[in-house]
Amino acid sequence: MDELKKRLIQLVHCKRLGWKAIYSLLKANPSLRDLYSPLNDEIVQSNLPSMLNAIPIDDLLEDYFTSKVKMISIFDEGYPPLLKTIYQPPWILFVKGDSNLLNSSFSLAVVGSREATPYGRNVIEYLFPELIHRGAMIISGLARGIDAHAHEIAMKNGGKTLAVIAGGFNHIYPRENCSLAHRMMRDQAIISEYPPIFRPEKWQFPLRNRIISGLAKGTLVIEAKKRSGSFITADYALNEGREVFAIPGSILSPSYCGTNELIQLGAKLVKEPKDIIEEILI
């Protein structure tokens, strides 16, 4: 491992350093060789040496190697090109499972309500066989409801699926999806921008949505209330110029306020698999 990557990994373990602080450090010192020297940013300058000294980076790297945790930096060849183009791309991706899934040629994010209805689940079961037959790799967030069902049905149909989580691998949330997560770590892939030892925090969930949409060529919203996490994911996709698809629903149900509004805003209404395939593959 080169020294730049090692220092970058050490920096993302500093909980008090956000994306912008690390960007400032890289801008001032692209090699990150002098992290202990005086810095322009007074806040970072006063805290950085003590924060770095508190992180046993060599022990952590050895533990990650033993646990088969891969680490891909934004400067590595294996970093997904699509993700690199988003606003504030993760500095490090922590990966458990098949890292090749990060560079799928037909990557589709599928998001929706945690309170999935039978209709939402049936939509997944209707759309996925043909999508997976055409090579779709399904990306979602391992949440209960639509996310978990999307991962399960993708695997049931012999497809590939990747989950983006908040927090680290050692603290899977929700706990009810731990079994699913461990199956995916073995046969599919789970990624996070947070080190394995980090517990999930509430503010991390909206941020991880930018990674879900950022890895995908298109985002399919199956059920979403207005201003829900799924709506936020679609908004990220729209802002990045990616395809957004939505399943229409009853105008009388709050579960479809978000999807119906997305269609009004220009998302493609999906009735069958080819509605997605023709936008991404053709």
**18-68: pLDDT as tens digits:** 899 899 889 888 888 876 554 545 445 557 777 888 889 999 999 999 999
- Flag whether 94 is in a domain: no
Please report the pLDDT score of residue 146 as a whole number. Answer: 96
> Could you tell me if residue 73 is inside a domain?
no
Residue type present at position 216? A
Same domain as 122, residue 179? yes
Residue 87 lies in a domain: no
Q: 182 in a domain, yes or no?
A: yes
User: What is the per-residue pLDDT for 6?
Assistant: 93
Final residue before a domain boundary, out of 51, 66, 81: 66
Amino acid at 75: F
Lowest mean pLDDT among 83-87, 180-184, 258-262: 258-262
Structural domain for 34, as ranges? 1-66
Position 180 scores a pLDDT of 97
DSSP 181-213: HHHHHHHSEEEESS-TTPPP-TTHHHHHHHHHH
- The pLDDT of residue 265: 86
Q: Residues of 47-65 as b/e, b for ≥16 C-beta within 10 angstroms? A: ebeebbeebeeeebbeebe
Domain endpoint, select from 40, 66, 92: 66
- The percentage of residues in the chain with a pLDDT greater than 90, rounded to a whole number, is 70
**Could you give phi then psi for residue 230, rounded to 5 degrees?**
-65, -40
Residue 5 sits in the same domain as residue 51 = yes
Task: Write down the pTM of the prediction.
Answer: 0.92
Residue 250 and residue 194 in one domain: yes
Shared domain for 197 and 153, answered yes or no, is yes
Does residue 242 sit in the same domain as residue 113?
yes
**Which pLDDT band holds residue 207 (cuts at 50, 70, 90)?**
very high
Do residue 55 and residue 181 come from a single domain?
A: no
Domain boundary among the residues 66, 88, 121 is at 66
- Same structural domain, 55 and 108: no
Q: Do 7 and 114 reside in the same domain of the chain?
A: no
- Residue 36, in any domain of the structure: yes
Q: Examine the domain organization and report whether 35 and 104 are in the same domain.
A: no
State residue 226's pLDDT score: 74
Same domain membership, residue 236 and residue 110:
yes
Total domains in the chain come to 2
Round the average pLDDT of the chain to a whole number and report it.
91
- The answer to whether position 72 is within a domain reads no
| CATH code for the domain of 210 | 3.40.50.450
Lowest mean pLDDT across 102-106, 182-186, 221-225, 226-230:
226-230
**What is the torsional sign of CA 178, 192, 8, 199?**
negative
pLDDT of 128 over the 60 cut: yes
Cis amide linkage into residue 273, ω under 30° from 0: no
Are 58 and 116 in a shared domain? Answer: no
Do the domain assignments include residue 88? no
8 Å CB contact between 126 and 169? no
| Residue 158 maps to a domain | yes
106/242 same-domain check: yes
